[in-house]
Amino acid sequence: MTTKTTEKPKTTKRVRRTYLYAVGRRKSAVARVRLYENDKESSIVINEKKISEYATTPEIQRIIESPLKVVSLEKFPKITIKVSGGGIMSQADAIKLGIARILLKFEPKYKDLLKAEKMFTRDPRVKERKKPGLKRARKAAQWSKR
């Protein structure tokens, strides 16, 4: 009679890291931003990609990093972002709003600098829905008198 010994799989101990959390929105894009307070590493990670891989054009990188430049943070903690919905420009604007909100939680004295640059303004414009009987939201078929 042989007995099987089952070994328990080794579990790795998860390290709980403290972070600040904020949400940025633009059109249908939603960015969930986390700023890790005790992290020595200084980086921005968007959807598990470095910022240079995610934002291929310099203009998009400039939009995303603009709140950090306003408060002149060269050495900032690690920021991770999960963004979904919308296009690349609306995602960049959602990330910008999320980073601005998280910087306010991180250091309340940045409020005046960020507010002067209108970083907290959420752009409320969204695409209007299509109405029944019309081709698009407002475009109708050409009207003929006779």
For residue 81, the model assigns a pLDDT of: 95
Considering only residues 16 and 36, tell me which one the structure prediction assigns the higher pLDDT.
36
d(CA 55, CA 144): 49
Query: Which pLDDT tens digit goes with each residue over 83-115?
Result: 999 999 999 999 999 999 999 998 899 999 999
d(CA 63, CA 87): 14
Percent of the chain exceeding pLDDT 70 equals: 90
Domains of the chain, residue spans: 19-116
Q: How confident is the model at residue 76 (pLDDT cuts 50, 70, 90)?
A: confident
Residue closest to 67 by CA, chosen among 108, 119, 17: 119
d(CA 51, CA 92): 11
CATH number of 19-116: 3.30.230.10
